Amino acid sequence: MTDSVASVGFLLDDAQPPDPDQRAALEASDRLGVSLEECSPGQLLRIDDAPDWDVLWWHRGRPIDDLQWLSDARPTIEDHLEGGGGLLLSGRALEAIEPLGIDPVGPAPYLHEGPTGLLCKSLYHDHALFDGFDDLRIQTAAHPVPGEEARYGPVLPERGEVLASALYPHDEAPDQVTTVGWRVGAGSVLGLGAGIRFVDEGPEHVVDNRDRLVRNALSMLATEGLALEGRPKSIDGLTAARDRLGPDPHVPRYHLTPPANWLNDPNGLIEYEGTYHAFYQYNPGGPYHNSIHWGHAVSEDLVTWSDRPVALTPDPDGPDRDGCWSGCAVDVGEARLLYTGGRGTRQLPCLATATDSTLDRFEKTTSNPVIDDAPTDPRLRSSEHWDAEFRDHCLLEFDGVWHHFIGSGVEDGGGTTLVYTCPDDDLTEWTYRGPIMTGEPERDGGMWECPEILTFEDADLMHISNYRAVRYYLGQYDPESYQFDSDSTGLLDHGCWYAPQSLDDGDRWLTWGWIKEDRDEHAQWDAGWSGALSVPRVIDLDDHGQLRQRPAAELEDLRGRTLCSQTGTARLTDETRTLEAGGRHLELETTIRLDDADAFELTLCETPDGAERTPIRYTNGNELIVDRAHASLDERTAGEPVSMPITPIDEPLSIRLFLDGSTLEIFANERHCLTTRLYPTREDATGISIAAIGGTAILESLEAWELGSIWTA
């Protein structure tokens, strides 16, 4: 690849002799296949006659503190980049990113044992930088050496695109970002903050990996450049990322997912001027939970959706430096977001206001955080990371007064929901009113995340997420006494559905939840994406005051080809009946009576030889079980069963399920919900079959449809 590299200037500091690794890099020029010409700061300061190299390379193992020439040479380096030149910063030279004005957020030195290689993002597995490598895990150094490297941690670069993280001999560290690319004018900058050393070389294959990586970097910077957008990404860039992940059979096509990288809680759900907006917790750095931003998608009809630019980004100098975490949106004549900002050991509410009707851009309030400290009464739960667990926000208006609900937990007690009030739409002056309810630790959990209250005509529903599940409480919230009195409690979902949030679109509550992954972190990294939002649910109360949960009616518009349709009654026995229906993106609706059978079994994602299959059993013990023992041949995925009780006894049982790539959502009798994940590995894991077990069951109806994609360019 390096045949096209005409010239490389290797930058050395006049004030200090080359360090051992710099000298070793110069001596390795023959191995690298390039001619390295030493370049001094003095040469860079001669703006009018500075040498015209294709690529400048600065490799350094020492800190760059107090190098005055950096600011003096900045105009020359800027001209070099604007004219299409390349800049490679390896080791601690990556720390020059900030003083050179390339990015306002610089890396941190890594003083512990450094990484020995790169953990490459699968989104860029075919990028020119990684040409010739067949694995996402590239060992480039034989031994970890402390103090010679730089990397980004919880705070990501504001403008650069993450290409790889840190690889250790026996570990992976996605949250230690070591490789970043920037577009600057017509030129490109590549930072390789770790894993590039030229002394203590080690085994031949490790040396070869290092040399290939450096050759690729120099060739790329000298020719086509980085060939990536910086951040924030354009709509075209987000669409391109989504398209690259499209062939993955586990990617849902009618659930909201990130274009790539990481998604967790739904946030800021709002219908604004006729458009539905779904914001969500998003990490652009990769498929792991860290450096949280707010992703954004929009729809006019709840059926087709499109990506919008990232809505909230952590401010390196603000109270949300370490993350813009969960919150809500309200319309007060203009759209406002109230979210949790994290910095250091404090998490406090912050406010941002939309600057346009598309809600693409938000301006953060200068007085953030809008609540300066967590309350001291009661004494709130703390952790090794936080002085007080005090996060996640829900706003409701009662008689012109805003009530602001925040999740927390009482130290040595149960989870709790706190409330503040504000008498105006400014949403900046809040008065603490205390806990509205505190749970029992054993049943309700010790910490309540993402509390939300839904108001109905005859009752109110509060739900909370307690790390284990989403628990709801039916009762009454009194806005005068600031108390919630619960009459009954239960679970909204019996699977991996978490941190739900709702919007009121006039005559109903629509709720989305985060569908967690059920495969390990290595599998998520290899996939390049993590997390999905559920289909929108309508939550309400029936005529008897019982809780109902149903898929939003608009989902029927996604139905395409009818896969099967049986409306007459059929008697099932132990003999398995294979349906003509099949696929991985479908909706299925059936009604069943057990008669004298021990169970009814509906099997999804079945291979012809049965090596992969997922039976769903409805037993005469009034339990619905998703048996995942043979759901996947990938050992990195969960295989334990997931179940829920069907109580009170409901006969016949009506099931409506949504299978989409790796997501499975089941609605039983419009009351009971179970969400889980399946990761079949074989292309032919698409079959569907039904059977009765231990007797006869009556199939009253069964229909299935193929469902299309929600995504539009």
Judge whether residue 562 has pLDDT over 70.
yes
CA distance 655 to 550: 11
DSSP class per residue in 17-76: PPPHHHHHHHHTHHHHTS-EEEE-HHHHH-GGG----SEEEEEESS--TT-THHHHHHHH
Closest CA to 618 of 648, 643, 581: 643
Percent of the chain with pLDDT strictly greater than 90: 83
Distance from the Cα of residue 385 to its chain's centroid = 20
Per-residue pLDDT reduced to its tens digit, 500-551:
999 999 899 999 999 999 999 999 999 999 999 999 999 999 999 999 999 9
Q: Point out the domain boundary residue: 516, 537, 572.
A: 516
CB atoms within 10 A of CB 2: 16
Per-residue pLDDT reduced to its tens digit, 245-259:
989 999 999 999 999
Quick one: 323 and 417 in the same domain?
A: yes
CATH number of the domain residue 506 falls in: 2.115.10.20
CA distance 417 to 421: 13
Quick one: 582 and 475 in the same domain?
A: no
Per DSSP, which regions of 275-317 are E strands?
275-283, 293-299, 306-312
CA atoms within 13 A on the CB side of 460: 16
Judge whether residue 48 has pLDDT over 70.
no
187-203 mean pLDDT: 90
Residue 537 domain-assigned (yes or no)? no
Pick 468 or 574 by higher pLDDT: 468
Per DSSP, which regions of 576-679 are E strands?
577-582, 585-593, 599-606, 614-619, 623-626, 642-645, 653-660, 663-668, 672-677
Quick one: 113 and 25 in the same domain?
A: yes
Judge whether residue 665 has pLDDT over 60.
yes
Q: What are phi and psi of 170, to 5 degrees?
A: -130, 25
Residue 78 domain-assigned (yes or no)? yes
CA distance 10 to 57: 5
pLDDT at 2: 44
Residues near 546 by beta carbon (within 8 Å), at least 6 away in sequence: 671
686-693 mean pLDDT: 97
DSSP class per residue in 310-345: EEE---TTSTTTTEEEEEEEEESSSEEEEEEEEETT
- Helix, strand, or coil here: 370? coil
404-423 mean pLDDT: 98
Judge whether residue 51 has pLDDT over 80.
no
566-585 mean pLDDT: 92
CA dihedral sign, ordered 330, 333, 335, 340: negative
Quick one: 64 and 131 in the same domain?
A: yes
Q: How confident is the model at residue 63 (pLDDT cuts 50, 70, 90)?
A: confident
Per-residue pLDDT reduced to its tens digit, 273-319:
999 999 999 999 999 999 999 999 999 999 999 999 999 999 999 99
DSSP class per residue in 522-562: HHHHHHTEE-EEPPPEEEEE-TTS-EEEEE-GGGGGGEEEE
- The encoded tokens of residue 253 equal 């096509």
Percent of the chain with pLDDT strictly greater than 70: 97
Per-residue pLDDT reduced to its tens digit, 205-223:
999 999 999 999 999 999 9
7-19 mean pLDDT: 83
Residue type for position 367: S
Residue 546 domain-assigned (yes or no)? no
Specify burial of residue 483 (Cβ count, 10 A radius: 0-12, 13-18, 19+): middle
The DSSP letter of residue 153 is: -
Residue 544 domain-assigned (yes or no)? no
pLDDT at 648: 64
Q: Point out the domain boundary residue: 486, 516, 546.
A: 516
Quick one: 150 and 287 in the same domain?
A: no
Residue 528 domain-assigned (yes or no)? no
Specify burial of residue 238 (Cβ count, 10 A radius: 0-12, 13-18, 19+): buried
Q: Cβ(159)–Cβ(102) under 8 Å? A: yes
Q: What is the tally of structural domains in the chain? A: 3
What's the start-to-end Cα distance of the chain, in Å? 35
Closest CA to 327 of 445, 412, 449: 449
Question: What average pLDDT does the chain have?
Answer: 94
pLDDT at 188: 96
Quick one: 68 and 206 in the same domain?
A: yes
CATH number of the domain residue 698 falls in: 2.60.120.560
pLDDT at 650: 63
CATH number of the domain residue 71 falls in: 3.40.50.880
Judge whether residue 4 has pLDDT over 60.
no
Per-residue pLDDT reduced to its tens digit, 467-489:
999 999 999 999 999 999 999 99
- The encoded tokens of residue 306 equal 């499109």
Quick one: 120 and 186 in the same domain?
A: yes
pLDDT at 232: 66
pLDDT at 15: 67
pLDDT at 50: 63
Closest CA to 238 of 311, 139, 333, 324: 311
CA distance 138 to 144: 14
Quick one: 160 and 34 in the same domain?
A: yes
Residue 540 domain-assigned (yes or no)? no
136-148 mean pLDDT: 88
Q: What are phi and psi of 11, to 5 degrees?
A: -80, 130
596-601 mean pLDDT: 96
pLDDT at 1: 45
340-344 mean pLDDT: 97
Judge whether residue 3 has pLDDT over 60.
no
pLDDT at 258: 97
Residue 461 domain-assigned (yes or no)? yes
Residue 256 domain-assigned (yes or no)? no
CB atoms within 10 A of CB 381: 21
Q: Point out the domain boundary residue: 222, 255, 281.
A: 222
Give the domain range for residue 62.
2-222
CB atoms within 10 A of CB 440: 12
Quick one: 643 and 509 in the same domain?
A: no
Pick 287 or 112 by higher pLDDT: 287
Q: What are phi and psi of 280, to 5 degrees?
A: -160, 155
Quick one: 213 and 321 in the same domain?
A: no
Quick one: 502 and 581 in the same domain?
A: no
Quick one: 571 and 463 in the same domain?
A: no
- Prior bond of 378 cis (ω within 30°): yes
